Amino acid sequence: MAGGTGSRLWPLTSVINKHLLPIHDKPMIYYPLTSMMFAGVTDIAIVSSPIHLNQFRTLLGDGSQWGLRLEYFPQKNPGGIAQSFSIAREFCKEEPVCLALGDNVLFGTGLGRSINSNFDNQGAQIFAYPVSNPSSFGIVDLDESGHPQSIVEKPKVTSSNLAIPGFYFFDSTVWNKAEQLKPSPRNELEITDVLKHYLTDGSLKVVQLERGTVWLDAGTIENLMSASEFVRVIELRQGFKLGCPEEIALRLGLIDQGDFRRLVSRIPQSEYKDYLNQLT
């Protein structure tokens, strides 16, 4: 989901979609895209405003260079995250689906294996991440057994500090649940309302991200800069890149060595190309 107006990042977003802004050395959308690759998702619908879709097509193409299938769908009006279900319904064929927000960065050792192995296509699965400012996020409250009790969007007062990152798994009942949504007071279809349907019928699973996992929402100027600095430091200290679709496609077996070398040969001479060349 790469729509919205990007108003919190204005004037940066006056001429470019926020999900194409850089987080250190790569476009923002590379990070949730590669998280989906780690989760085993290879058929991906990219939803954005009509005026920005060609920018995404220019950057990402049809995805075949990474062993993916990418298609593009316009969100004609900014009607909320949950509007993506009606927009991409035909593409997804009403099957179980993973939804990722284009401004979310997830990083952690073994995170790919974790998000790929937990969901069994039954109910819905979300993640929980402790934050110091819960009033800025959707918050889930858990009981002593780790079962969700309530979900509140940006609560002023809450007993929980567990934010819900923008990375969700839903079973095939989500399509009917999404049909039942009514616009919120801000005239949007809220993703929290979808989650509440699963909470009510007892089929919402919450996985707490392990300590050491990092989740960053890059939707504000401060968070965009923090995310860039985090990625810069990790790449500098550890010598590998985060959110690199070429490398991940190779390591996951979505492309072979020959495909990888041909792909790298088409990249202009740059530090990014130098990094990829040393992988073969």
Question: What DSSP line would sit under the chain, residue for residue?
Answer: ---S--GGGTTGGGSS-GGGSEETTEETTHHHHHHHHHTT--EEEEEE-GGGHHHHHHHHTTSGGGT-EEEEEE-SS---TTHHHHHSHHHHTT--EEEE-TTEEEE-TTHHHHHHHS--SSSEEEEEEE-S-GGGSEEEEE-TTS-EEEEEES-SS-S--EE--SEEEE-TTHHHHHHT----TTSS--HHHHHHHHHHTT-EEEEEPPTT-EEEE--SHHHHHHHHHHHHHHHHHHS--SS-HHHHHHHTTSS-HHHHHHHHHTSPSSHHHHHHHTT-
One-letter identity of residue 125: Q
Q: What is the pLDDT of residue 140?
A: 96
Report residues of the chain scoring pLDDT below 50: none
Please name which of 199, 193, 170 lies closest in space to residue 180, comparing C-alpha atoms. Answer: 193
Task: Kindly report whether the global pTM for this prediction surpasses the value 0.85.
Answer: yes
Domain 7-120+166-243 has CATH 3.90.550.10: yes
Q: What is the pLDDT of residue 191?
A: 94
Q: What is the pLDDT of residue 110?
A: 63
- Please report how many Cα atoms fall inside a 13 Å half-sphere around the Cα of residue 83, on the Cβ side: 20
Q: What six digits make up the tokens of 30?
A: 């590379």
b/e code 138-157 from CB counts within 10 Å (16+ = b): bbbbeeeeeebeebbbebee
Q: What six digits make up the tokens of 151?
A: 């979900």
